[in-house]
Structure 1
Amino acid sequence: MTRITGGSRAAFWALFAAPAVWMTAFFVVPLSVIWAYSFGRTLGLTQVDVTGTLANYARVFDPVYLWIFAKSLVFAGATTAICLVIGFPYALVMTFASNRAKIGLLLAIMLPFWTNLLVRTYALMAVMRTEGWINDGLGAVGLGPFEMLHTNFAVITGLVYVHLPFIVLPLFSTLDRLDRSLIEASLDLGAGHLRTIFQVVIPIVWPGILSALLLCFIPALGSYLTPDLLGGTDSQMIASVIERQFKRANDWPFGAALSFMLMYLTLAAMAWRALAERRAVLRKAR
């Protein structure tokens, strides 16, 4: 048993102090203030009276806002599902590719991160607008033009484009550690490639898949810029409503309540992931 000495304890606190102060000052304190605002009411332009009222949370359950929450969940869920369908085969190809091809595939999925999100979104607008490249190409073969910009299709396309790396990179990290002898044994015993993937690979890497889904779903649910620029009046997500409460409506308490409802949904998703992972561990133990 390792004994913790006074010197090692002092070294630990010396290393831990800086990040602890940073997280407290720039994360815990601001988040606590916003959480307190969610139980208050607006007095003036910049004044909020924290009264302990639950009226802001009750207002969240208005059908208008519930519909926007539901639509945000649908958009985030569709984005995550599409990213998984595209990202899992891509990560699988990366896993079994040669070292040179692996670097190229990794760069292809990482390159969008090197460009500002606003620039990428405006590039998508140039591609999907009525006079954009897609409609120009379709017009060359006698099709179109089709209205793509400011639609739900544009929003989901933009969200998939932005969040695809959040699926591919965790999946690649998980698949790259997979014991390939299990795959070889499955193929040697007569199972085809698809059967091996669904009955051997996926069950083994299932915890990694859940983590990847969560990493994609959470930021997609809280996306603001992409639906705001690519979507129309029927494509707004909950982050846009929160932005309007803080800026235009000057209703900080209600905006704070909406923000924390989004955080509660995020925590629920994380709890679901932990429960699913625990069940998988217990199933293996049996």
Structure 2
Amino acid sequence: MATSEEQDWKRARGPFAAVFTAPALWLLAFFVVPLAIVWAYSFGETTTPTTIEISGTFRHYVRAFDPVYLEIFLKSAWMAALTTALCLVVGFPVALAITFAPERAKAWLLLLIMLPFWTNLLIRTYALMAVLRREGYVNAGIGRIAEALGWQFDPLPLLHNNFAVVLGLVYVNLPFLVLPLYAALDRLDRSLLEASLDLGAGHLRTIREIVVPLAMPGILSGLLITFIPALGSYLTPDLLGGPDSQMIANVIERQFKRANDWPFGAALSFILMYLTFILIAGQTVLAGRRRRREP
């Protein structure tokens, strides 16, 4: 005999299908099918400038492990990891401050964190270029201080190098880490923190031994959400970086536009996607193990 839950599900099956069908078809037509076409291109060969023959070759995947491209992959991963680490160092205190801020101030602080999303990324990047260039605000400010002190000052090379790329990536991706951290910290049981402080643990020890372990799922989610966009970033290294600052997304762009080698560009794109799936699967496995260890 069917339970009440099964009967409710059977009654809701029709409305659920009606609501789900339209977005499912949209995702299928404009997400799954285009991705499948690009995935098929990664096993093809360019026969003419406008024709790709799907031959089933793995040559482009093998070519991706050429030392030239492998070095760019590793450099991109290193810069994305450095960006994620810096975002954690900066974002954890910010998320902690928002968590323990008064309720009225908390809403305004969250608004400030989300405010950059209201401005186009290209505009924000050009604004950062205006700050970092040789005649920009940073060099101009330091130059005025040096002039007042009677020192000679040469403008700092803050733009078109790896420093500018990492700074730009931190600037762009910092909210992606702060928001999951805040969501995790805001759910903490405040009584545990009070008990730790009452038992003699200082604030730093409480953060290290109570706050960080309890907020670890949010920390790992924030790290993943920050690392993946940083690894596939294109605009920031293209505008802020120099010849030695290009990341793998810039190489993929060149394959599709300038080199007209769509199969190789598709292979590079899907290697990035495979890495993303591996990272998400690893985070899921770690989260499952942590839940099983919990009492």
TM-score class normalised by the smaller sequence = over 0.9
2:290 aligns with one of 277, 280, 286: 280
Structure 2: gaps (5+ residues): 147-152
Preserved CA contact (<8 Å) 1:138 1:144 = no
Structure 1 stretches of 4+ with a deviation exceeding 4 A read none
Q: Structure 1 vs Structure 2: percent identity of aligned residues?
A: 64
CA shift, 1:9, in A, is 1.3
Cα distance per residue 1:250-282 (max 9 Å; x no partner) = 000000000000111111111221122122223
CA contact (8 A) 1:40 1:49 kept: yes
Offset at residue 6 of structure 1 (A): 4.4
Selected match of 1:132 from 136, 156, 159: 136
Q: Is 89-98 or 143-152 further displaced after alignment?
A: 143-152
5 Å matches for 1:22-61? 22-61=26-65
Cα RMSD after superposing both structures: 1.1
Aligned letter for 1:157? Answer: L
Q: Which moved more, 1:102-111 or 1:212-221?
A: 102-111
The separation in 1 between residues aligned to 2:227 and 2:12, in whole angstroms, is 40
Alpha-carbon deviations, 1:8-64, whole Å to 9, x = none? 211111111011101101111000000000000001122110000000101000000
Q: Give distance in 1, aligned partners of 2:78 and 2:204.
A: 29
Q: Distance in 2 between matches of 1:118 and 1:206?
A: 33
Name 2:192's counterpart in structure 1.
182
**Counterpart of 1:187 in structure 2: which amino acid?**
L
| 2:211 aligned residue | 201
AA aligned to 1:57 is Y
C-alpha separation in 2, matches of 1:174 and 1:208: 5
Where does residue 183 of structure 2 map in the other structure?
Answer: 173
Q: Is it true that 1:221 corresponds to 2:237 in the alignment?
A: no
Q: Separation in 2 of the partners of 1:34 and 1:46?
A: 14
| CA distance in 1 between partners of 2:240 and 2:46 (Å) | 32
SS in 2 for 1:43: strand
Q: What is the identity, as a one-letter code, of the residue corresponding to 1:80? A: T
Which residue pairs with 1:252 in the alignment?
A: 262
Aligned residue runs from structure 1 range 43-122, under 5 A? 43-122=47-126
Asked whether the 8 Å contact 1:158–1:230 carries over to 2, the reply is yes
Q: Find the partner of 2:275 among 238, 244, 265.
A: 265
TM-score by length of 1: 0.97
> Counterpart amino acid of 1:76?
A
Distance 1:163 1:99 in 2: 25
Long gaps (5+) in structure 1: none
Deviation at 1:120, TM superposition (A): 0.3
Counterpart-to-counterpart distance in 2, 1:135 and 1:279? 50
SS at match of 2:45: strand
Counterparts of 1:136 and 1:106, CA distance in 2: 32
The amino acid of 2:86's aligned partner reads: I
Equivalent AA in structure 1 for residue 155 of structure 2: P
The number of residues matched between the two structures is 285
State the secondary structure of the residue aligned to 2:48. Answer: coil
Distance across 2 between alignment mates of 1:112 and 1:48 = 40
Deviation track 1:207-241 (CA, whole Å, cap 9, x = no partner) reads 11100000000000000000000000000000000
Shift of residue 104, structure 1, vs aligned partner: 2.3
